[in-house]
Amino acid sequence: MGDGDIQKLREALARRARGRGKRYTANLRQRIAEAATVLRGRGHGWHTIGRFFGIPHETVRRFAGRSPATAFVPVEVVGSAGVGLSLVTPDGYRVEGLAAVDVAEILRRLR
C-alpha cells in the first residue's frame, strides 16, 4: 500500500458516518490494517495513526491484529546478569529495576 492509497483511505474515513455502533466493512477493516502496518513500519505509534485516520487508536490496533497480548516479539538479554533489567513493551510501557526471574514471571503471566 503506497502513500496515495493511504491518503485515499484517510479521505474515505473522513467522509464516513461516525458514531457508536457504526460498523466497518470487511474491506475497510483490511485497508485500515494494511495502512497501519505500513505506518507502523515507518515508526508511527498507534495513537498517531488513529489521529491521522480520525478513528480510535484501539480500533486501528485491533484491525491490524495487534493487541497487548500478541504484541510481544522475541528479545535478547544483553549485559547484566541479574538485577536492574528493564522490560519495555512495544506500546512503550516500561518497568525498571527487575531481576531476570521477575521479567520471566511477568512474561509468563502475560501469555
| Grouped pLDDT means (10 residues each) for the chain, 111 residues | 88 83 86 92 91 91 71 64 72 78 78 65
- The candidate with the shortest Cα–Cα distance to 98, out of 71, 77, 67, 68, is 77
Listing DSSP states for 14-78 in one string gives: HHS--STTPPPPHHHHHHHHHHHHHHHHTT--HHHHHHHHTS-HHHHHHHTT--TTT--------
User: Domains, the chain, ranges and CATH?
Assistant: 3-63 (1.10.10), 68-111 (no CATH)
Which letter does DSSP use for residue 90 in this model? T
- Return the pLDDT at 66: 59
Q: What are phi and psi of 98, to 5 degrees?
A: -95, 150
- 33-62 tens-digit pLDDT: 999 999 998 989 999 999 999 998 999 999
- Which pTM does this prediction carry? 0.56
- The candidate with the shortest Cα–Cα distance to 36, out of 10, 72, 75, is 10
